[in-house]
Amino acid sequence: MADKNQQETGPADRPQQRGNRFDEAAAKWDDNPRRRQLSEAIAVAIRRAIPLQKGWRVLEYGCGTATLGLLLAPYVLEVVAADSSVGMIEQVRRKLSGSATTNLTPMLLDLSQQPPPAERFNLTVTAMAMHHVADIQQVLTRLGDMLSDDGWLAIADLCQEDGSFHESITVPHNGFAPDALAGTVARCVPGACCQWQVIHTVTKNDRQYEVFLLTAHRARG
């Protein structure tokens, strides 16, 4: 299992914009039932699309409070829950202190500022995080670099929308066109075969927003 002390970095290693806003929101992040429903839908979709195995190591990048990682943990050997927000990682630790889960490890990590760890994972997954990332090609390449042979990458995110989902804040991407994102993933993770499907609809402010799951499998050989 991962060494927590070796993996965690200091606050200076995370981007200021994401760190501040998400640090402030972390304590109440799980109060929104819509987030739990979305995490549950993503977990079910991942289990249907990817043959999770008990011996697998999984990295969830942009984990927030690790709701998704905790849902996947019973099906694999280990989940490393990584985020660039100190506040979010603190919430993960609090959740673990009252949980029977023993195979989830928090990690402070910002792949837009740091090189990927030397560890390799059978699955790297990111959920509702990539639309907050300015340079998605850099982060996708680094997530791909962390895959073991025969590894999988899973991305759950918003389908392209008009910017109303986040209301008063600005994000780098108002969702994604899944076909275009699949092309980007194929360039960033050579040899990966991509598929996607819409898996959930978020109702917010009397509007509906579709969420897709894109999976990329880099088959051995």
Q: According to the model, what pLDDT value does residue 168 have?
A: 80
91 to 45, 70, 73, 133: CA distances (angstroms):
25, 13, 17, 21
pLDDT over 70 (residue 198): yes
* CATH code where residue 128 lies: 3.40.50.150
pLDDT over 70 (residue 6): no
Q: What are phi and psi of 126, to 5 degrees?
A: -140, 135
Q: According to the model, what pLDDT value does residue 14 have?
A: 36
* Surface-to-core class of residue 173, CB atoms within 10 Å of its CB (0-12 exposed, 13-18 middle, 19+ buried): middle
| Residues constituting the chain | 221
**Tokens (6 digits) for 140:** 């996708």
Number of domains in the chain: 1
pLDDT over 60 (residue 1): no
To the nearest 10°, the Cα dihedral for 185, 186, 191, 192?
50
* Structural contact between residues 190 and 33, judged by C-beta atoms closer than 8 angstroms: no
pLDDT over 60 (residue 140): yes
> What whole-number distance in Å separates Cα of residue 194 and Cα of residue 196?
7
Identify the domain containing residue 144 by its residue range.
4-218
> What whole-number distance in Å separates Cα of residue 198 and Cα of residue 98?
34
* Surface-to-core class of residue 17, CB atoms within 10 Å of its CB (0-12 exposed, 13-18 middle, 19+ buried): middle
The predicted-structure confidence for 84-101, as pLDDT tens digits, reads as follows 999 999 999 999 998 899
The shares of helix, strand and coil residues in the chain, as percent rounded to the nearest 5, are 40, 30, 35
Q: pTM value?
A: 0.88
